[in-house]
Amino acid sequence: MRHKYVLIALFILVLSSLSACSDKKMGNPVIENSSIEIGTTQNPNDGLLHFLIQIHDSGMEPDQEYKVRFVIQNPYISDLIETEKLEIPETYKTLHVENAILTGSSWEIKKEFTLDELKKSIKKNQAIIVELYDENRTIAQEVITTIKDNRGEPIVKVNSEAKMEQIELKETNEIAIFGEAVRDSIEEPGIVDIINPPYKFNLGEESYFLWITEDDGYIMNSEDTHTIYSLSNRSFKKVKEFIVNKD
């Protein structure tokens, strides 16, 4: 009877050892890194949000077939591209090559956004998850927290010592004028040699730079200095009148 228990104990030890070896084999990093990019280096202003992943399949089973999907759990991001799940149609098979496999999916940004809000949303708990999966199980997954902006140099580099007048909006009608100015503004392709903004104002948690000339007005979200917007004629007149009367 004692020999029987010894054999059982040895059998359990062998199984544990094999399981540990298997776990060690499958414990190698499968997802080398993952990220979200705005535009590409080849086309910085393509208006797309790029979901990218590098896969190192040496830690996977031989001849394993799998697919890739991005699950978006943050409403701000899913609202921007109008979808909650991105599934890459291709089926991949483990190659066990030294170099990592790079793949991903690109989706059009359907609505206006600020870089600061996008960064905050991506860094929230499990906002975007990338998964490798087959028909029966999830093979590997990772939460994406890295975002890269490829849109090049900002249109405006605001000097930290630049003198800007802070416009304080206190009355309801004042907030309405500047709120309308933001809503009705039109994105411009870019303006070169633009000077430091003379004004700055806040609407809720957002802050904006403001330029007013004799004939035109422009605004820019202070957290997204890659994009500038021109005021509509109606808003330009109201904002300019407000500044003249205030002075």
Per-residue pLDDT of 134-186, as tens digits, reads 988 999 999 999 998 887 776 676 665 668 899 999 999 999 999 999 999 98
Spans of all domains in the chain: 28-149, 165-246
Is there a contact between 113 and 78 (Cβ–Cβ < 8 Å)?
no
Structure tokens at 146: 């890295």
Instruction: Write the CB contacts of 87 (distance below 8 Å, at least 6 apart in sequence).
Output: 67, 68, 69
User: How far apart (Å, rounded) are the C-alpha atoms in residues 245 and 177?
Assistant: 14
**pLDDT tens sequence for the chain (247 residues):** 444 444 444 444 444 444 434 333 344 568 888 999 998 877 887 889 999 999 988 878 888 899 999 999 999 999 999 999 999 999 998 877 777 788 999 999 998 888 888 988 998 889 999 999 998 899 999 999 999 888 777 667 666 566 889 999 999 999 999 999 999 998 876 555 567 889 999 998 889 999 998 888 999 888 887 788 899 999 999 999 999 888 6
Residue type, 124: K
Give me the architecture of the 28-149 domain, per CATH.
Sandwich (2.60)
Give the residues across from 207 on adjacent strands: 202
Which alpha helices (DSSP H) does the chain contain, by range?
A: 2-26, 75-81, 115-123, 172-183, 233-246
Q: What is the pLDDT of residue 81?
A: 95
pLDDT in tens, 39-57: 887 788 788 999 999 998 8
